[in-house]
A and B are shown apart, each in its own frame.
Chain A
Amino acid sequence: MEPLQIIEIFVSGIVVGGLYSLTAVGMTLILGVMRVINLAHGSFYMVGCFATYFILVQAKLNPILALFLTIFIVFILALFVEKLIIRETKTDLMRVSVATFSLAMLLEEAIRIKWGKVYRTIPTYITGTTGYSGITFDNQRLVASIIAILVITGLVLYIKKGRFGRAIRMVQQDGEMASMLGINVDVVNMTVFGIGAGLAGAAAGLLAPLYMIYPSMGWPPLLKCFAIVILGGMGSVGGTIFASFIFGVVEVGTAFFYGSQWAYAAVFLIMIIILLIRPKGILGKDIF
């Protein structure tokens, strides 16, 4: 095993981790601020992918516009979902789980009936590859990974410094106090949900050209996000990003040595072990 191979695995893992991080941070945001387990998070990603497909391939608009449009579509969808479904059910874990799961199935079936008869894929819009002595990376993947990190960094800065960000942090700390101080908690929650979903939409816009697009594509990302978020600590954005990288490297490494057939089981096993040893995750705050 040459050192070059180790570097290749490591760097690939980081890149892959970066790809997962956007959706994972979306989930951790919702989990951290609203304390809601949204089982339809993968569906938002899936809807975003279909939106990107139609905008790019059928309407043939430019990719940057497609990305923003996709984020916008998913954001609006999420606002509706929050107002109609989440707000009503979030107090009861069982209720919110069934509600979001039914929503996820509903979205999947609706898309399947209308557009699911054919497999689809999108040509990558950032072409070419970057390489160094035998290790090559597809530019779309690299750029997507980098943009993901930039977006998350921007978001974190906004939450830490911006006015609205302060409102979010206040609501997360103590909702009642926040509303007494005049903050409209409902609006804050709705926006946070929208942003969380919007991140999944952004991931869709950046990643859709890498894979194939089909109605059931939302479930694997959902389960992976769960694993990452728990690993990194629910509610901690930094922990989630860190966990995404670790996850990516573990995934690529396992695939290299053993074949990824066991990766799925391994991921959940690691999740259980982490939960038992250190329930807060790597950098997490105990949000439940």
Chain B
Amino acid sequence: MDFSTFKEKWGMSPFILLCSLLLLIIVPFITRDNFLLHVIILANVYVVLSAAWDICSGYLGEVNLGHAAFFGLGAYTVAYFDQWFKLSPWISTLAGGGIACMFSLFIGFTSLTLKRDYFVIVTIAFAQILWSIASTWSSVTGGEEGIRHISNFSSKVIFNYFLALALMVICIAILYAIVKSRLGRILLAIHEDEYASKAAGLNSSFYKILAFAISSFLAGLIGGFYGHYLGIVTPESLSLGVTFNVMAMTFVGGSTTIFGPIIGAYIITFLAQYLYFFMEYRLITQSLALLLIVLFFPGGLIRLIFKSAYR
């Protein structure tokens, strides 16, 4: 196997990828610390969320500030399907992705035809409306207490751990395949210059809606897993906080790369959970760090570390 072309093609030494994956696989067997496993599961959830967000907001350039809406839609869908239909968690998780995707199609048809920066506002508004409904309509959504006692895949932490890991690997693989395929190049082309792409004969609206739909489907899917894993779903999952976490992670890791969000998600999730020695100063440290990275390393950490592979 020719490592140099692999590195060129994949942007990262296969060695590092393999080692990291192996490490993640071994971890639950060498530690009893369920807290660490829990944090890794959360990190994996955010990896999928961030990488999915990057496809639409980074590659395509349509910044989706309502990403949390699709995550939350997946989570709430799972909660309701569990309550009403008592389906197996596998099916309801897929349904979570599906419902999120459906909503994104609707939004996409109506707003991706507008000029770029309006999409941003429509997505924020959509997320805020959903959040407001989830918090206010307590008779249906449980209000801020949310919906509890959602059935889980398994009560064993290890099962959930490997499921999260598998989902993460699968979703990243899908996204990576898309990025390296013709579709990926089309998205970048539309990002660069939509008019030129249209002139070249591309149906830009179709591709934009497609990217948005894929991004939302994956967000809803992992939202479904999240609902089953935590056993509880609250309006927090629809909040701006989630979207901005995702944004921060993508940015810190490196946008418009697939592995950037992985790094970003892990770093920020671990910092958020482990910086508990100075509980009070955690948030301010995070914000300051994020601000500095945005100012001085806009390419993200991955471009810093793997200078050769990325522009």
Check A-B contact in the complex, CB < 8 A: yes
Q: Which residue of B lies closest to A270 (CB)?
A: B125
A151 within 8 A of B: no
Q: Which residue of A lies closest to B255 (CB)?
A: A94
Interchain CB contact (< 8 A) of A93 among B63, B114, B115, B124: B63
Given A265-B129, A275-B114, verify A113-B281 contact (CB < 8 Å): yes
**Docked pose: A105 CA to B248 CA in angstroms:** 12
Given A94-B57, A97-B63, A288-B117, verify A113-B125 contact (CB < 8 Å): no
**Docked pose: A65 CA to B248 CA in angstroms:** 40
**Chain B 59-87 near chain A by CB (<8 Å), digits 1 or 0:** 00001010000000000000000000000
Given A93-B63, A275-B122, verify A269-B129 contact (CB < 8 Å): yes
| Chain A residues bordering chain B, tally (CB within 8 A) | 36
Expressed in whole angstroms, the minimum distance between the Cβ of A23 and any Cβ of chain B is 18
**Chain B 276-310 near chain A by CB (<8 Å), digits 1 or 0:** 00001101101110110011001000000000000
**Chain A 78-89 near chain B by CB (<8 Å), digits 1 or 0:** 000000110011
Contact B298 A265 (CB under 8 A): no
A180 within 8 A of B: no
A226 CB contacts on chain B under 8 angstroms:
121, 124
**Chain A 204-246 near chain B by CB (<8 Å), digits 1 or 0:** 0000000000000000000100100010000000000000000
B158 within 8 A of A: no
**Docked pose: A94 CA to B122 CA in angstroms:** 15
Expressed in whole angstroms, the minimum distance between the Cβ of B238 and any Cβ of chain A is 12
A288 CB contacts on chain B under 8 angstroms:
115-118
Expressed in whole angstroms, the minimum distance between the Cβ of A50 and any Cβ of chain B is 16
Q: Total number of A-B contacts with CB less than 8 angstroms? A: 105
Provide the main secondary structure of the chain B interface: helix
Contact A89 B295 (CB under 8 A): yes
A58 within 8 A of B: no
A272 CB contacts on chain B under 8 angstroms:
122, 125-126, 129
Contact A268 B295 (CB under 8 A): no
A127 within 8 A of B: no
| Chain B residues bordering chain A, tally (CB within 8 A) | 39
**Docked pose: A164 CA to B244 CA in angstroms:** 37
Contact B129 A276 (CB under 8 A): no
Contact A89 B283 (CB under 8 A): no
Chain A CB within 10 A, most for which of B110, B114, B132, B286: B132
**Docked pose: A223 CA to B128 CA in angstroms:** 10
Interchain CB contact (< 8 A) of A265 among B133, B248, B288: B133
Expressed in whole angstroms, the minimum distance between the Cβ of A271 and any Cβ of chain B is 5
A135 within 8 A of B: no
Contact A93 B117 (CB under 8 A): yes
B122 CB contacts on chain A under 8 angstroms:
272, 275-276
B290 CB contacts on chain A under 8 angstroms:
98, 102
B273 within 8 A of A: no
Expressed in whole angstroms, the minimum distance between the Cβ of A57 and any Cβ of chain B is 25
Q: Which residue of B lies closest to A104 (CB)?
A: B287
Given A89-B294, A98-B294, A264-B132, verify A271-B121 contact (CB < 8 Å): yes
Expressed in whole angstroms, the minimum distance between the Cβ of A104 and any Cβ of chain B is 8
Given A97-B65, A271-B121, verify A276-B291 contact (CB < 8 Å): no
**Chain B 228-255 near chain A by CB (<8 Å), digits 1 or 0:** 0000000000000000100110010001
Expressed in whole angstroms, the minimum distance between the Cβ of A93 and any Cβ of chain B is 6
Contact B287 A106 (CB under 8 A): yes
Interchain CB contact (< 8 A) of B111 among A97, A102, A276, A286: A276
Q: A95-B251, A99-B291, A276-B114 are in contact. List 16 more A-B contacts (CB 8 A).
A: A37-B117, A89-B294, A93-B120, A94-B247, A94-B255, A95-B298, A97-B63, A98-B294, A102-B290, A105-B283, A106-B288, A268-B126, A268-B132, A269-B129, A271-B121, A271-B125
User: Could you give 27 example pairs across A and B, Cβ below 8 Å?
Assistant: A37-B117, A85-B295, A88-B295, A89-B294, A89-B298, A93-B63, A93-B120, A94-B247, A97-B65, A101-B244, A102-B248, A102-B287, A102-B294, A103-B291, A105-B284, A105-B286, A113-B280, A113-B281, A230-B121, A265-B128, A265-B132, A268-B125, A268-B126, A275-B118, A275-B121, A275-B122, A288-B116
